[in-house]
Structure 1
Amino acid sequence: MLNYKKERNKIKLRENPDLGRKVFFLNPPVKLESRIIPELRTEEYEIYIIKDYHYIKNLLRIFPTSICFININDKSLDSLQWFKFIRFFSEDPTLKETHLGVVTSESISWIKELFLLHTQLPCGYNPLNKNIEELKENFTALLDINGAKGKRKFVRADCKNDSNIFASCVVKGITVQMHVENISTVGFCCTAPLSGQYLFQVNSVVRKLSLVINNKEIICNTAVIIKKKGTKKLLLVFLFLQGFSYTSKTIIRDYITNYLQHTIHLIQTNLPLDTQDYSVLLKEEYDIIKSIKASALYSQRITTQKQEEEFLNYQQEWEAFKTMDEITELHPIEGTEKDSQSSHDPLKEEYTQTFFDKDDIQTTDLF
């Protein structure tokens, strides 16, 4: 059996909310994945996409303080199975700290009521029938309320084991090769040979530094903000100076996104699959669903009955108008003239266009 505590220690998980929370999207719909998630990444939220629900619970046991948005329209489970899937989180002590939210492309009132009243959703029930800007604002607010960033401002990739990223610069005519330890869109930490300790000074500017990421070279001006001498290497932290281009930031952000996603994928492939059968409901869950659906059906029938009554009232009102027409024909009202040019009655046309035919009323049986 996998030792999740050992796994957490092995990957040096930062569980302190001050350092933020990982944000997982389970099977996000296209609108969310292609439009909203890239925007959220630009705002420096640490976001991951998981495409298979069989892995998400064991991942969240390793990252227990994470945020997770679940797409309940994904066809791998039906709505009621997703309901049971989510309820399982509140019953499992290893998953209770996870901040869950639901996303849906459908608008079914009893499903919404079922999830809101009978599951724990700190990140809400989120319909996607809004424009992109509204959705971005909603998700940004949810992430901030749930402490997604903590006190940190930027997402950082610990990439010391990646040989595809490195840096070099020329100082006082000497070329210094550096190994990048971690990187964000505002700067990076690296190690250099001890022989370079006299070449770098804190608060000094290093111009035309070369940063290579997956064979893409970025030439940038930087400032040394930290210098520490180790037993074998020199530790340096560089900050990108003003004027660092948007294109360069995009290259770094894309690298961070892909590197972190790949890191999660490697962890995921070594996890056991979730084998729980979510199609089997407990008696309590069945009773909850039955009660919610019965209530929804009753409400719909009441609404339909009210519509029928309104139709009959309008019909009676129209008959009253017709009666008034007959009265005014026999007893003209003083000071008015009867319009003899046309028998067209705009009031009648307005009523007949506005109110539906009684035969069109349908009641959907939810059982």
Structure 2
Amino acid sequence: MERNTFLSKKVFFLYPHSVIQQGLMQELVANEYSIYLVNDHKRFREVVRKFEEPIVFFNIDENLKAEEWENYISEMINSDDNSAMTGVLTYNDDKELAETYLMNLGVPCGFIKLKLGLEQSRGIILKTLEANEAKGRRKYLRIDCWSLQNTEINVKFGENFFTGRIKDISSVGMAVVFDMEQQLQKNMMLNDIQLKLRGKIARVSGPVIGSRETTDGIIYVVLFDQKTDSAKRTRIYGFIYETLQDEINQIMQSREGPESNAE
């Protein structure tokens, strides 16, 4: 069965270096990639095969010995039930080690030397993700919020405030069900929207660009104003990143197959 190329690929970092965690993760999400950090190589071996064509970057500087990493990655590459594309992140610039991974093991996503600096490493990773079509055909990463706690919106109409339940959200808009009887018209401008994202507040505005009736109520699609400032978008990206990470943490702790919130 072929992968749905409309959806994004999962991008995993196994035992990521601190410089990667602090300087790159949320930026990759802001580039609309589904990013996950993992810190358990034993459980990860079971989990990763459940996803279609994931991309995995390994920190080979920690947790396992050099030979153990080579065996671990080789087994993943050669496993019949695994479709992962693999790459290596390391501060070790040994040419023989690079040859082992690139020529002998054949890691397709590169041997990335962090000694080159974060900016250059960032560029290599972004080019690798782009070359492997990690975004899919969807331009923006969208997160399912329907089952999340402490995630809703408040919006003011006239003198009254109404609460809405967010169905899904991206950096450019959201789908929401309001607890009101009146129906909103297409192109109606919502000037004072308070997003509550896991308890963190961001104020945005935007027009209603469409709606559809469902068993859960009328779902309205709201497009965020293009003038939304970077601080608010950063907060939305932060929420997306936290939601993705919670998702993989739950999957890693569970013995059941993964279900993803990201599209």
Q: Same fold (TM over 0.5)?
A: yes
> In the alignment, is residue 58 of structure 1 matched against residue 46 of structure 2?
yes
The 8 Å contact of residues 187 and 209 in structure 2, kept in 1 or not, is answered as: yes
Deviation string, structure 1 residues 312-354 (Cα, Å, up to 9, x no partner): xxxxxxxxxxxxxxxxxxxxxxxxxxxxxxxxxxxxxxxxxxx
More helix as a share of residues: 1
> In the alignment, is residue 169 of structure 1 matched against residue 155 of structure 2?
yes
Equivalence map 1:167-206=2 (5 Å): 167-193=153-179, 195-197=181-183, 200-206=184-190
Q: In the aligned structure 2, how far is the partner of 1:71 from the partner of 1:79?
A: 11
Structure 1 counterpart of 2:56 = 68
Deviation string, structure 1 residues 269-323 (Cα, Å, up to 9, x no partner): 0139xxxxxxxxxxxxxxxxxxxxxxxxxxxxxxxxxxxxxxxxxxxxxxxxxxx
> How far did 1:207 drift?
1.1
> In the alignment, is residue 238 of structure 1 matched against residue 225 of structure 2?
no
CA distance 1:92–1:171, shift in 2 (3 Å): same
Structure 1 counterpart of 2:259 = none
Structure 2 counterpart of 1:215 = 199
Decide which of 121, 130, 144 is 1:144's aligned counterpart.
Answer: 130
Counterpart of 1:18 in 2: which secondary structure? Answer: coil
TM-score (norm 2): 0.90
The 8 Å contact of residues 194 and 232 in structure 1, kept in 2 or not, is answered as: no
CA distance 1:231–1:104, shift in 2 (3 Å): closer
RMSD: 1.9
> In the alignment, is residue 131 of structure 1 matched against residue 97 of structure 2?
no
Q: In the aligned structure 2, how far is the partner of 1:27 from the partner of 1:130?
A: 19
Q: In the aligned structure 2, how far is the partner of 1:18 from the partner of 1:234?
A: 25
The 8 Å contact of residues 36 and 135 in structure 1, kept in 2 or not, is answered as: no
Q: In the aligned structure 2, how far is the partner of 1:187 from the partner of 1:67?
A: 27
Letter in 2 for 1:77: L
Decide which of 75, 81, 90 is 2:77's aligned counterpart.
Answer: 90
Q: How many pairs were matched up?
A: 255
CA distance 1:240–1:34, shift in 2 (3 Å): same
> In the alignment, is residue 38 of structure 1 matched against residue 26 of structure 2?
yes
The 8 Å contact of residues 157 and 183 in structure 1, kept in 2 or not, is answered as: yes
> How far did 1:174 drift?
5.0
More strand as a share of residues: 2
Letter in 1 for 2:16: P
Q: In the aligned structure 1, how far is the partner of 2:120 from the partner of 2:249?
A: 31
The farther-off stretch of 156-165 and 138-147 is 156-165
Counterpart of 1:142 in 2: which secondary structure? Answer: helix
Deviation string, structure 1 residues 69-115 (Cα, Å, up to 9, x no partner): 011111x21111111111112332111x2111111110222221111
TM-score (norm 1): 0.65
Indicate the structure whose relative CO is greater, using CA pairs within 8 Å and at least 6 residues apart: 2
Q: In the aligned structure 2, how far is the partner of 1:92 from the partner of 1:216?
A: 42
Q: In the aligned structure 1, how far is the partner of 2:66 from the partner of 2:137?
A: 36
The 8 Å contact of residues 26 and 238 in structure 2, kept in 1 or not, is answered as: no
Decide which of 80, 90, 96 is 2:67's aligned counterpart.
Answer: 80
5+ unaligned residues in a row in structure 1: which ranges?
1-13, 273-367
The 8 Å contact of residues 189 and 238 in structure 1, kept in 2 or not, is answered as: yes
Structure number, greater radius of gyration: 1
Counterpart of 1:73 in 2: which secondary structure? Answer: coil
Query: Structure 1 segments of 4 or more deviating over 6 A?
Result: none
